[in-house]
Amino acid sequence: FSMMPMGVIATEETPQAEGTITEENAYADATALEFFQHTVTEDGTVVLTKYTGTGKNVIVAPQYTLEGSTYATILDSATVFKDNTKINTVKLYPGVGFANNTMSYLFYGCSNLVSVDMNGVNTVGVTEMTYMFYKCSKMTTLDMTGIDTSKVTTMYALLYECYKLNSFAGYQ
């Protein structure tokens, strides 16, 4: 069986939804869950552990629906995108959360990553952001608008070797 964002057909890079956004098509542009290794937990979440798709543009929905049940999306930052040299852009919808209160290593070694939109993701409780964008040497744009870093205690090498970063929105 396959778990998909609400209203999504199984394509790797689904085009942007047109018209009015409804509950059924709110995340129609999200990358289908079948392109992630994942685990459904008993507490009502789906933990994405590794992006296995070949698409260069990845969009993560804050929830996926399976057999009539909706599961909140949690990323395992240590593995989900680490060392993926295929991806160019990543958008995390508001509401996406992080396992073990860490965002460390989220994009570690993503050397072809150009743009990341994390505007409004759920960072309440996040305490670590170590090596988060380590060696993202082609990244030019980063949007962290609405990110709550009030509990973060470690940001060691957060942007190490991000030589081309010229737009960093939202960092306070």
- 26: pLDDT confidence band, cut at 50, 70 and 90? low
Instruction: Find the range with the poorest average confidence among 13-17, 56-60, 98-102, 154-158.
Output: 13-17
SS3 annotation, 91-131: EECCCCEEHHHECCCCCCCCCCCCEEECCCCCCCCCCECCC
Q: Give the torsion through C-alpha atoms of 25, 31, 36, 38, to 10 deg.
A: -20
- Count of positions (residues) in the chain: 172
Q: Which two tokens stand for residue 38?
A: 């994942």
Report how far residue 64's alpha carbon sits from residue 144's, in angstroms, rounded to the nearest whole number: 23
What pLDDT score was predicted for residue 169? 83
